Amino acid sequence: MRHISAAERAGTAGKTGSQFTGQVFNYLTMPATDGIVINTVTFNPGARTFWHSHTDGQILEVLAGRGLVQSEGGPVVSLGAGDTVWVPPGERHWHGAAPDSFMIHTAISLGPTQWDHEVTDSEYTSRPDDSPRSDPSLNETDER
Ligand code: MN
C-alpha cells in the first residue's frame, strides 16, 4: 500500500506547456505507481493536448465543463460532466476543452505516453457533421 498525502504532492501542480495548446492547469493526483499515473487537468476554453497515445490505454472522466475528444480517423466527440472515455492502447488521440467552455477531467494513464504534434486549429474546429464517415467501424457502439 502506498499512501500519497496532499503534502507529498505539494508543488507538483502547475501549468504545462510543451504537450498542450492554450492554458492548462495540471494536478498530479497520483505520481507514476505501477505504471499508472492519475492527473486532474483543467483546460481553459480552446485548450487541448497535442496528439498522443498511451502504451496501455487511458481512462478520462469528465468532472466539469464541456470538452472534446478525437481519435485519429474518427469524428470529434463532445464531452460533458459525468462522461467517461476509454482510449485503447496505442490509439492516437487528443482531448481538451470546447472552444466556449472550460473542462476538467481526471485522466488515468496506463503505461508511458507517446507525444506527437500539435492539434491544428482546423482539426480542433472540425465537427462530427463535417467528418466523412466512410469507415463504418468508426461509428460502432460498444454494447458492454
Ligand atoms: Mn490521452
* Residue 9: band (very low, low, confident or very high) from pLDDT cuts 50, 70, 90: confident
CA of 67 to the centre of ligand 1 (A): 13
Q: Please say whether the beta carbons of 109 and 97 come within 8 A.
A: no
Q: Model pTM?
A: 0.84
Please state, in angstroms and rounded to a whole number, the distance separating the CA atoms of residues 39 and 104: 10
Q: Please say whether the beta carbons of 132 and 122 come within 8 A.
A: no
CA of 136 to the centre of ligand 1 (A): 23
Please state, in angstroms and rounded to a whole number, the distance separating the CA atoms of residues 111 and 13: 21
Please state, in angstroms and rounded to a whole number, the distance separating the CA atoms of residues 64 and 83: 10
As beta bridge partners, residue 99 has none
Q: Which of 14-23, 27-36, 78-87, 103-112 has the lowest average pLDDT?
A: 14-23
CA of 10 to the centre of ligand 1 (A): 24
CA of 104 to the centre of ligand 1 (A): 14
pLDDT of residue 131: 46
Domains and CATH numbers, the chain: 27-127 (2.60.120.10)
CA of 113 to the centre of ligand 1 (A): 8
pLDDT of residue 139: 53
Secondary structure (3-state) at 47: coil
Please state, in angstroms and rounded to a whole number, the distance separating the CA atoms of residues 20 and 50: 5
Is pLDDT of 10 > 60?
A: yes
Please report which helix (H) or strand (E) contains residue 121, including its range.
helix 121-125
CA of 88 to the centre of ligand 1 (A): 10
Model confidence pLDDT, tens digit, residues 15-52: 666 799 999 998 889 988 999 999 999 999 999 999 99
CA 137 vs. chain centroid, Å, equals 22
